[in-house]
Amino acid sequence: MPSEVDPLLPKVEPAPEISGHGYSQTARGQFEPAEDAEDEGTPPKAGASALKSIVGLFTVVVGFALVIALLVPGGLGSVWKAPKNDRLTVRARVDKIMTETPLIDGHNDLAILIRYLYGNQIYDMNFTESFENGGLPFHVDLPRLKKGKVGGAFWSAFVGCPHNSSDFSDANYVEAVASTLSQLDLLRRLADSYPKTFSSPNINGSTALTTFADRHQLISPLALEGLHQIGNSYANLRLFHSLGARYATLTHNCHNAFADAALITNSARSTIKAPPYWEGVSQRGREIVKEMNRIGMLVDLAHVSKDTMLDVLGGRPKKWAGSAAPVMFSHSSAYGLCPHPRNVPDDVLRLVKKTNSIVMVNFSPDFISCLPSNSSTGIPDVYPPNATIHQVARHIVYIGSLIGYDHVGVGSDFDGIFSTPDGLEDVSKFPDLVAELLEMGVTDADAGKVVGANVLRVWADADKVALKMQKDGVLPAEDRMKPLV
């Protein structure tokens, strides 16, 4: 098993390009007959002599082959094996996996792109032309979603941390709450505009597979990326859930009233490893996690500090038992391969297994290919040579090998990252990632778990916990409000 700081082995050479009858060009040269030579008018006698020579040579070869077949264990089969149609076989397996199990991306930031480039104007031809026909900037549009055999995604209604992120007052979050409503509205309008493509955001883990299999729609729940977006309000949390938000990340790159983040932006506007504020989850944080469990909103631990991870996963039981429902890391990778504060260390991964939770591997080069650094920021150096599709697959295999393939998925962060791994440039490349996993020895059954079955299980389990809590009479958490003036 790789150590906590992996040396980042270089990418293996790709298999030969497949063409023709399923063989590489090299293999085809070995087994396809050469073109017939032009007849130069060989005299009959010379032709007969040549034919006798050929027949004689053929007899010798056949006789030798029969001797080999009799004397060598396994006969001819042990000496020569027909070339396997590996690439085509892998592609057929990929198609079967992605047809039977929806590929569900744990985190897609399309809404950020629409906000910044189009001002949320999705009915304008500037947007519709390229979204419908292809060519939308960055990583997502309808043709590429189709080519990538995407079965669904959690669409993030991202709103960044307030400038003064150390101020946890309600007043400091007013703009974030308003922008969150706008982004949720945007994503709902997008789904309404393309009903043949996107499901309603008001979907749950138990009905999602029916949406994919029977209606042929993308499973399309929404997500919040940091509890600064709810403005410290249980009412806002429930409102956003009613609008389709099916998970909420406890923090983004800022601490809040509920939990500590992995990263913060300092006074110099640099991103650094965050010093602790609550030493994990605050008392209010425990209460918000309980309310998320009660309403069936998945708790997302991407972006949080290790202390927060441990608290929510029950890793410090004397302090708090943690979440009653399984949780997710919607877009984080393995710390053992890339020692970044945003990634998940091995001891936390073991808690992921214990709680039947999931880590959905992020594609950002910053989080998949890095080396330890002595920088005062506490952030490792990116190692560009390994920013590849193979390295993303290595993170998946690392987690699967350590805690089992029931606990890993994919969370691309497409449209939320500026650079992408070589070979995973956009959503159309998902089949290539599945093929890479198969070529690395991942079974078809495990690949199906990775692409979507695992996150559907975690989501459905969270729904079951919510139903039980409601049946048991657990009441909604209430905001304490001041009297109206």
Q: Which pLDDT score is estimated for 88?
A: 62
Q: Which of 225, 291, 307, 415 is catalytic?
A: 225
Assign 378 a pLDDT band (cuts: 50, 70, 90).
very high
Residue 39 is assigned to a structural domain of this protein: no
Whether 58 and 135 map to the same domain: the answer is: no
Whether 65 and 137 map to the same domain: the answer is: no
Q: Which pLDDT score is estimated for 38?
A: 35
pLDDT tens digits for 433-481? 999 999 999 999 999 999 999 999 999 999 999 999 999 999 999 999 9
- Which one, of 363, 348, 355, 473, lies nearest residue 410 by Cα? 363
Per the annotation, the verdict on 252 as an active-site residue is yes
Q: Which pLDDT score is estimated for 37?
A: 34
Whether 50 and 192 map to the same domain: the answer is: no
How many C-beta atoms surround the C-beta of residue 306 within 10 A? 20
Assign 414 a pLDDT band (cuts: 50, 70, 90).
very high
Query: Which residues face 370 on adjacent strands?
Result: 382
Q: Is the dihedral of CA 74, 79, 83, 87 positive or negative?
A: positive
Question: Residue 100, Cα to own-chain centre: how many angstroms?
Answer: 18
Q: How far is CA 224 from CA 160, 298, 300, 464, in A?
A: 11, 10, 9, 21
CA distance 176 to 233: 12
CA distance 320 to 283: 10
pLDDT tens digits for 322-351? 999 999 999 999 999 999 999 999 999 999
Q: Which of 331, 340, 390, 407 is catalytic?
A: 331
Structural domains in the chain (count): 2
Assign 381 a pLDDT band (cuts: 50, 70, 90).
very high
Whether 62 and 103 map to the same domain: the answer is: no
Residue type, 17: E
Question: What SS3 class is residue 9?
Answer: coil
Whether 121 and 78 map to the same domain: the answer is: no
pLDDT tens digits for 150-180? 999 999 999 999 999 999 999 999 999 999 9
Q: How far is CA 377 from CA 266, 272, 363, 373, 439, in A?
A: 10, 5, 22, 9, 37
Assign 61 a pLDDT band (cuts: 50, 70, 90).
very low
8 A C-beta contact, residue 19 and residue 88: no
Q: pTM, whole model, 2 decimals?
A: 0.82
Higher local confidence (pLDDT), 54 or 174: 174
Q: What is the mean pLDDT of residues 214-237?
A: 98
Q: Which of 109, 406, 415, 436 is catalytic?
A: 109
Whether 105 and 156 map to the same domain: the answer is: yes
pLDDT tens digits for 80-92? 233 343 456 999 9
Per the annotation, the verdict on 109 as an active-site residue is yes
Whether 175 and 261 map to the same domain: the answer is: yes
Per the annotation, the verdict on 107 as an active-site residue is yes
Beta strands 381-382; 408-410: pairing state? unpaired
Per the annotation, the verdict on 426 as an active-site residue is no
Q: What is the largest CA-CA distance in the chain?
A: 118
Per the annotation, the verdict on 214 as an active-site residue is no
Which of the 8 DSSP states describes residue 216? -
Higher local confidence (pLDDT), 28 or 265: 265
Residue 129 is assigned to a structural domain of this protein: yes
Q: Which of 228, 303, 395, 407 is catalytic?
A: 303
pLDDT tens digits for 234-255? 999 999 999 999 999 999 999 9
Per the annotation, the verdict on 303 as an active-site residue is yes
Q: What is the mean pLDDT of residues 287-293?
A: 99
Whether 61 and 140 map to the same domain: the answer is: no
Domain end, chosen from 82, 104, 133, is at: 82
Q: Which pLDDT score is estimated for 68?
A: 37
Assign 107 a pLDDT band (cuts: 50, 70, 90).
very high
Please give the full DSSP string across 148-213, using - where no structure is assigned.
TTEEEEEEE---PPPSSTT---GGGGHHHHHHHHHHHHHHHHHHHH-TTTB--S---TTTHHHHHH
Domain end, chosen from 22, 56, 82, is at: 82
Residue 360 belongs to what H/E stretch? Answer: strand 358-361
Q: Which pLDDT score is estimated for 307?
A: 99
Residue 30 is assigned to a structural domain of this protein: no
Whether 78 and 91 map to the same domain: the answer is: no
Q: Which of 139, 228, 241, 252 is catalytic?
A: 252
Structure tokens, 318 = 């004397």
Per the annotation, the verdict on 413 as an active-site residue is yes
CA distance 243 to 259: 24
Residue 265 is assigned to a structural domain of this protein: yes
Q: What is the mean pLDDT of residues 197-206?
A: 96
- Which one, of 323, 324, 331, lies nearest residue 304 by Cα? 331
8 A C-beta contact, residue 450 and residue 410: yes
Q: For tokens 């077949």, what's the residue?
A: 69
Q: Which pLDDT score is estimated for 206?
A: 87
Report CA Rg, the chain. 28
Does pLDDT of 277 surpass 90? yes
Average pLDDT over the chain reads 86
Percent of residues, the chain, with pLDDT higher than 90: 79
pLDDT tens digits for 9-26? 333 332 222 222 222 232
Q: How far is CA 65 from CA 5, 68, 69, 71, 80, in A?
A: 53, 5, 6, 10, 11
